[in-house]
Chain A
Amino acid sequence: MATGQDAAIPLSVPRGASAYAPPRLWPRVGNAAAVGIVLFWLFPVYWIVLTSFKPIVEINSAIPKFVFTPTLENYTHLFTKFQFTGVLLNSIVVTTTTCAIVMVLGVLAAYALARMHVPGEKHIALWILSLRFLPPIAVAIPFYIQWQNFHLLDTYAGLILVYIAFNLPFAIWLLRGFLADVPAELEEAALLDGMSRLQILVRVVVPIILPGLASTAIFVFVFTWNEYLMALMLTSVRAVTVPVQISKFVMPYTILWGDLSAAVVIQLVPMLAVVFLLQRHIVRGMTLGAVK
Chain B
Amino acid sequence: MTGSESLTLDLAVRPPSKAGWQRRERLIAALFLAPGMIYLFAMAVYPTVYSLWLAVHNYTIYRPDLVSYAGFDNFNDLLNNEVFSGSFFVTVIYSAAAVALELVIGIAVAVLLDRKMRGIGLFRTLLIVPVLISPVGMGLTFRYILAPTYGLLTYLCHRVGIPTADWMASATWALPAVILVDVWQWTPFVALILLSGMQSVSVEVVEAAELDGLSEWQKLRRIVLPLIRPVLMVVVLIRLIDSIRVFDMVFVLTRGGPGTATETLSVFSYVTGFTEGDMGSASALAWVMVVFVNILVFFFLRALSKAEG
A183 in contact (CB, < 8 A): no
Q: Report A-chain residues with C-beta under 8 Å of the C-beta of B300.
A: 133
Cα of A130 to Cα of B251 in the assembled complex, Å = 25
Q: Report A-chain residues with C-beta under 8 Å of the C-beta of B273.
A: 137, 141
* Other-chain residue from B109, B117, B206, B293 in contact with A133 (beta carbon distance below 8 A): B293
Q: Is the CB of A118 within 8 A of B29?
A: yes
Q: Is the CB of B121 within 8 A of A47?
A: no
Q: Is the CB of A14 within 8 A of B301?
A: no
Known: A45-B129, A141-B51, A282-B192. 17 other contacts (CB 8 A): A13-B127, A19-B206, A20-B198, A38-B124, A41-B127, A44-B130, A117-B25, A135-B290, A142-B50, A142-B54, A228-B134, A228-B248, A229-B248, A229-B251, A247-B251, A268-B137, A291-B196
Q: Is the CB of A37 within 8 A of B126?
A: no
Asked whether A17 and B116 contact (CB < 8 A) given A45-B133, A225-B134, A274-B132, the answer is yes
The chain A residue with its CB closest to the CB of B306 is: A290
Q: Is the CB of B129 within 8 A of A42?
A: yes
Cα of A41 to Cα of B188 in the assembled complex, Å = 9
Cα of A168 to Cα of B45 in the assembled complex, Å = 13
* Other-chain residue from A9, A27, A45, A250 in contact with B252 (beta carbon distance below 8 A): A250
Cα of A138 to Cα of B192 in the assembled complex, Å = 31
Q: Is the CB of A290 within 8 A of B43?
A: no
B135 in contact (CB, < 8 A): yes
Q: Report B-chain residues with C-beta under 8 Å of the C-beta of A232.
A: 251
Number of interface residues of A (CB under 8 A): 114
A-to-B contact residues, CB < 8 Å: 1-6, 9, 11, 13-22, 24, 27, 30-31, 33-35, 37-38, 41-42, 44-45, 47-48, 51, 59-64, 105-106, 108-109, 111-113, 116-118, 124, 126, 128-131, 133-146, 161-162, 164-165, 168-169, 172, 194, 197-198, 222, 225-226, 228-229, 232-233, 242-243, 246-247, 249-250, 255, 257, 260-261, 264, 267-268, 271-272, 274-276, 278, 282-283, 286-291
CB distance from A189 to the nearest CB of B (A): 15
Asked whether A18 and B184 contact (CB < 8 A) given A11-B121, A138-B287, A169-B40, the answer is no
Main secondary structure of the interface of B (DSSP, over half): helix
Q: Report A-chain residues with C-beta under 8 Å of the C-beta of B201.
A: 18-20
The chain A residue with its CB closest to the CB of B274 is: A233
* Other-chain residue from B193, B203, B287, B294 in contact with A130 (beta carbon distance below 8 A): B294
Cα of A124 to Cα of B234 in the assembled complex, Å = 20
The 10 A-B residue pairs with the shortest CB-CB distance, nearest first, are A109-B36, A165-B43, A226-B134, A116-B29, A112-B32, A138-B286, A290-B307, A228-B248, A142-B47, A19-B203
* Other-chain residue from B48, B51, B116 in contact with A3 (beta carbon distance below 8 A): B116
Chain B interface residue number, banded: 35 or more
Q: Is the CB of B136 within 8 A of A228?
A: yes
Cα of A60 to Cα of B131 in the assembled complex, Å = 27
B213 in contact (CB, < 8 A): no
- Contact residues, B205-250 vs A (CB, 8 A): 205-207, 216, 219-220, 223-224, 230-231, 234-235, 238, 241, 244-245, 247-248
B115 in contact (CB, < 8 A): yes
